[in-house]
Amino acid sequence: MLNAWTGAQIRAAEAPRLDAGAGDALMRRAAHGLAGAALALLDARRRPRYGARVVALAGSGNNGGDALWAAALLARRGLRPAAILVADRAHEPGLADVHAAGGDVVRLADDDASTDAARRLLADADVVIDGILGTGASGGLREPAAGLAAHLEDLRRTGVVTVLACDIASGIDADTGEAPGEHVTADATATFGGAKVGHLAGAGEAARGTLTVVPLGIEADLPDPDLRRLQTAELRALWPTPARSAQKYSRGVLGVVAGSAQYPGAALLTTAAAAAAGVGMVRYLGPEAVGGLINARTPDAVCSAQQPGDVHVQAWLVGPGTNDDEAQLDRVRTALAAAVRTGTPAVVDAGGMSVLPEQGAAHLVLTPHAGELARLLSDRHAADGAAVERSDVEARPLHHARLAARITGCTVLLKGATTLVAGPDGTAFSQADATPWLSTAGSGDVLAGILGAVLAGVAEHPRAFDDRGLGGDVRWAAAAAVAASLHGRAGRTAARDPEGTGAGGPIHATAVIDALAAAVRDVLAG
């Protein structure tokens, strides 16, 4: 599990040590970790350490102090240190050490001469340590730092310099991952004491590069994390693997209300994905014509035009492709009412979100993309009557996912390059296991099918969640994170993009279904 905390949580854990006068010692430890990360970056890029130019960008706070101290430490390893001070104050002991190491120092102001001098230093740099702002920042980067950050990004993108962020890329909010304005983009980040929420959400995910956590000795005092990311070990433990004595009913029956005579595709994709994910049985409820099409692709699905009240299932999947079909929407309403009454978990996708019960529950998992979440929040007057736009959700994804979970009382899975899951109690997960090739029509239907299969299996595996501190209502959010991760991994497998960088090539939704078994096998094999 990769856990992430807010700046306030980290500061609270540090507070007793700061009160005991250990602040400098903590900063020295941070600077040491930062210097090590700078050397590792040079090594990874096969650039010689000796004579390499390291430039610290230093703001007025301790983040700047860390960067200055790291640059001074690197002078002892043969690097040529320099500093660009972007505020009118700088961490005095750090600056003194850079001077003592013979480093060049430029103080950036709003004039051409200092801007030119700063740019000359950057153009000569091998590694730039971004210590402009850390967890003490409020709002976006201000000038002149904002202009320098934009220039730095031009140099980074064209391979002139490598950027190492101190704690967090400056301009990214450590508590949310939001970027209110210009921000630094890093090739790597060394963070202190624990990952920050801003590394795993919003613009912060793409701005951080490779993340290294430098221990500060405060780890035992950290509270429950604010945001979590499941990794292979958790996926292996939480994936619904059949017991020796399993039979189809014990593995879980998934009731699916999806598609319509006019839009059968969503029904085909969701049922095929659920079957491929290894659910015990899929029971499809809908028009006969759609059932026929489903059986041509997925003969193992049991299709009928029954009503939800007539079937016994362990989980529901409702809503994909049902928008324009009143009979299907009626089935969706009935299934959701039954789910709330009986505590049966349900995936509520697409059209299903327009017929939510008044009183939601954590075991109903909504799966909107940013546009659908904006509509849902607008319909619920979440912004005091003002419309919420897709761009609002994209700019502040974690905030809006949590807001929607609180307002609806349901678990909310917000789809995107990073998928965020929020429970109504504020518990949140972030998964970034996908590939941009997954952004294709029908990909969301496949995710809904996988999630349906996972939810149908949860009842059989309560201990797996309890044993990892993911019991109670948190299990629904955790199950959604499991599904998002496997969906992303299947996408990577299908696209042949193992790192999720956009390498490989195009895929369509059915290719993701076909790759799912291999992705699950990889996870189970560790």
Ligand X SMILES: Nc1ncnc2c1ncn2[C@@H]1O[C@H](COP(=O)(O)OP(=O)(O)O)[C@@H](O)[C@H]1O
d(CA 490, CA 511): 9
* Contact yes or no for 199/222 (Cβ under 8 A): no
Q: Binding-site residue total for K ion (CB under 5 A)? A: 4
Residues paired with 494 in a beta bridge: none
Min dist CB 384 to ligand X, Å, is: 28
User: Is 473 known as a binding-site position?
Assistant: no
DSSP-derived letter for residue 320 is T
Is 210 a binding residue for ligand X by CB under 6 A? The answer is no
Which of 72, 275, 438, 478 contacts ligand X by CB under 6 A? Answer: 438
Partner whose binding site includes residue 142, from ligand NPW, K ion, ligand X, none (CB under 5 to 8 Å by kind): ligand NPW
19: exposed, middle or buried (Cβ count in 10 Å: 0-12, 13-18, 19+): exposed
Min dist CB 81 to ligand NPW, Å, is: 18
Binding mask 365-404 toward ligand X (x if CB under 6 A, else -) reads ----x-----------------------------------
Q: Which residues in this chain contact ligand NPW in the complex, by CB under 6 A?
A: 11, 14, 18, 23, 26-27, 30, 59-64, 66, 133-142, 166-167, 192, 216
- Measured from the Cβ of residue 243, the count of other Cβ atoms closer than 10 Å reads 10
Partner whose binding site includes residue 441, from ligand NPW, ligand X, K ion, none (CB under 5 to 8 Å by kind): ligand X
Which of 118, 149, 166, 432 contacts K ion by CB under 5 A? Answer: 166
Nearer to ligand X, 459 or 503 (CB): 503
d(CA 420, CA 440): 19
**Listed ranges 174-182, 353-361, 384-392, 435-443: which one lies at the site for ligand X (CB under 6 A):** 435-443
* Contact yes or no for 173/398 (Cβ under 8 A): no
User: Is 43 known as a binding-site position?
Assistant: no
Is 445 a binding residue for ligand X by CB under 6 A? The answer is yes
CA distances from 242 to 42, 248, 256, 305, 445 (A): 47, 9, 21, 30, 24
d(CA 426, CA 423): 5
Min dist CB 31 to ligand NPW, Å, is: 7
User: Is 417 known as a binding-site position?
Assistant: yes
| Dihedral sign (CA 118, 121, 127, 129) | negative
Min dist CB 193 to ligand NPW, Å, is: 7
Which of 447, 474, 483, 511 contacts ligand X by CB under 6 A? Answer: 447
Which of 81, 144, 444, 504 contacts ligand X by CB under 6 A? Answer: 444
User: Is 322 known as a binding-site position?
Assistant: no
Partner whose binding site includes residue 170, from ligand NPW, K ion, ligand X, none (CB under 5 to 8 Å by kind): K ion
Q: Which positions ≥6 away from 351 have C-beta within 8 Å?
A: 319, 320, 321, 322, 323, 329, 332
DSSP-derived letter for residue 241 is P
Residues 482-521 that bind ligand X (CB under 6 A): 487
d(CA 388, CA 378): 5
* Contact yes or no for 449/443 (Cβ under 8 A): no
Residues of this chain that bind ligand X (CB under 6 A): 369, 415-417, 419, 434-436, 438-439, 441-445, 447, 487
Residues of this chain that bind K ion (CB under 5 A): 130, 165-166, 170
